[in-house]
Structure 1
Amino acid sequence: MNKVNEPNRKSIRLKGYDYSTPGYYFVTVCTNDRRCLFGEIIDDVMILNDAGRMVKSVLCEIPIFYAGIDIDKFVVMPNHIHCIIIINSVGVGPRAYPEHHVATDGQPQGVAPTYSNLSLSDVVHRFKSLTTNKYIKGVKQNRWESFNGQLWQRNYYEHVIRNEIDLSETREYILNNPKKWHLDKYNPQTMETQRI
């Protein structure tokens, strides 16, 4: 496609902000077309299906594969995830195995960690890649609902958490998200009523 015909996409990131800076980041990632693929809300509780459990598992594994990255509170919703990603230090990077994974001869197994600045977008990209590959496998092997083109929307929402009050409010928002699904802007039924 000719560059002239490509849509002009503006970045929604803070101009000049270094997203590899240690801190807490609130992130929302939505499925493409906001399709509900990960389960359903029943009586204000998120009931994960197999795909939702896979997404949860990948979120929980991120700190294993990235030194200096932690996942604080999170929730997997029917068509999106909310999570707090913590970048603990500069100089983190992907690693093949957790640091505590040691062979029987006492030597660490796998590839030694490569240290480079890891940004928030690197973590989100890795999450999207891992979940997409596992989801495709689930479609082929377990007949999960297929998706059209891509599993996740191209972009993601982020908010730099600035202080303890902001952190507390964000954690509360994540915790209560399933209870407020009927009001959620990502809920397809809510979106339909807003159009009327």
Structure 2
Amino acid sequence: MDKYKNKYKIGSHRLRNWDYSSNALYFLTIVTQNRECILGDIVTGQIKLSEMGKIVENEFLKSFEIRNELFLNEYIIMPNHLHMIVEICHPGNGSNSLIDTVKSHGNNEPHGYDVEPHGRAVLPNRTVLQPNGVVQQLQSIKPNRPVRLPKSISSFIAGFKSAVNTKIDDFIDEHHLSIPKYNKQNHFFQPNYHDHIIRNDFEYQRIADYIIRNPTMWENDKLNHKK
């Protein structure tokens, strides 16, 4: 496990140089800061959202209304995290040939779908791997500087988290709550998140089933710090 600023951090399983604005299906997980269970409670195998959880759900669904390239397949809001399968589909891009691309360029993705938050979906260098296997050069990007591509997974998550911070802060003010407000120093969600590119129908069904059944497995969930 690598160290950053004298703290241990989990290494990224992100597919090296993959263009995260490409047409594909992505399994994503976002976790609250410190895994705090502030989004709701599990009651008889179902999620009962808190007021903050309702705000999160509203802003989450709104994300798909304002982004034409993004489609929601499955999702669940849990007490301290969200699971989702989202699809990026830019008109005219055609088929991804994703399975062949992953096989021919190596696979840095986890084989299972255990949930651990990893690094941001940003590109550490100046090239991106397109779904057809073509490596695109990003001439305007300075070396070693993280890149957030427009209409990408990282762009979507950054916008969603920012909107949640704003709405939650409004809620705190409106109800005169004696809790810290959220900003760049005090995140509502963890800065990092987990992503996994879905390669085939079997994997899609397996992950979709995992998402649907997640509330019933809460007692043994590795993100449940109360277990």
Question: Do these two structures clear the TM 0.5 threshold for a shared fold by scoring above it?
Answer: yes
Distance 1:81 1:146, change over 3 A: farther
Matches within 5 A, 1:40-59: 40-59=41-60
Q: Which residue of 2 aligns with 1:107?
A: none
Amino acid in the other structure paired with 2:167 = K
TM-score, normalised on structure 1? Answer: 0.75
CA distance in 1, matches of 2:153, 2:210: 21
Amino acid in the other structure paired with 2:165 = T
Q: Which residue of 2 aligns with 1:122?
A: 155
CA distance in 1, matches of 2:58, 2:197: 24
Distance 1:162 1:144, change over 3 A: farther
Q: Which residue of 1 aligns with 2:189?
A: 152
Q: Which residue of 1 aligns with 2:175?
A: 142
Aligned residues: 164
* Root-mean-square deviation over aligned CA pairs: 2.5
Distance 1:145 1:82, change over 3 A: farther
CA distance in 1, matches of 2:77, 2:18: 27
Q: Structure 2: any 5+ residue segments left out of the alignment?
A: 93-148
The share of aligned pairs that are identical, in percent, is 28
Higher-helix-fraction structure: 1
Task: Give the one of 153, 172, 176 matched to 2:213.
Answer: 176
Q: Secondary structure at the match of 1:67?
A: coil
Amino acid in the other structure paired with 1:18 = D
Q: Secondary structure at the match of 2:226?
A: helix
CA distance in 2, matches of 1:84, 1:34: 21
CA distance in 2, matches of 1:88, 1:178: 29
How far off is 1:70 after superposition?
1.1
Distance 1:68 1:145, change over 3 A: farther
Q: Structure 1: any 5+ residue segments left out of the alignment?
A: 92-115, 191-196
CA distance in 2, matches of 1:5, 1:26: 29
Contact 1:21 1:90 in 2 (8 A): no
How far off is 1:150 after superposition?
1.2
Amino acid in the other structure paired with 1:176 = R
How far off is 1:54 after superposition?
1.2
Say which is worse superposed, 152-161 or 137-146, in terms of deviation. Answer: 137-146
Amino acid in the other structure paired with 1:133 = T
Q: Secondary structure at the match of 1:47?
A: strand
Distance 1:145 1:72, change over 3 A: farther
Contact 1:90 1:118 in 2 (8 A): no
Q: Which residue of 2 aligns with 1:72?
A: 73
TM-score, normalised on structure 2? Answer: 0.66
How far off is 1:117 after superposition?
4.2
Q: Secondary structure at the match of 1:189?
A: coil
CA distance in 2, matches of 1:31, 1:77: 10
